[in-house]
Amino acid sequence: MAQRTKTLITKVLTLRDKGKAAYKEADVLMDELLKRDMLGRSIDLGDGQHATLIDNFENRNKVFRAHGIARFELVVTRAE
């Protein structure tokens, strides 16, 4: 049982590290979208999906959520 516990912990830590790297890469790509003046523009992704880069702090100085919040967010919607 101790070996299985160690294995599970190692897997969790590995996945967290992969997640951190993916978020870091996603932040770089979000910066590129901002440089392309994509804020507020709806982009058709196909299959009824649209993506819009939004500013969560537009017209306000604070945003209240139960977790950390990024200033900019890519929102994807799907047509029904």
Is the model's pTM score more than 0.75? no
> Residue 61: its pLDDT value, please?
78
Whole-number pLDDT of residue 65: 66
Q: What is the mean pLDDT of each run of 10 residues along the chain (80 residues)?
A: 87 92 92 89 91 85 70 79
> Cα angle at 41 between 66 and 23, to 5 degrees?
45
pLDDT score, position 18: 94
* DSSP alpha helix (H) spans, the chain: 2-35
Under a CB-based contact definition with an 8 Å cutoff, are residues 45 and 53 in contact? Answer: no
- Checking phi first, is residue 42 left (phi over 0); if not, alpha (psi -120 to 50) or beta? beta
Residue 51 confidence (pLDDT) = 93
- pLDDT for 60 equals 76
* pLDDT for res 63: 65
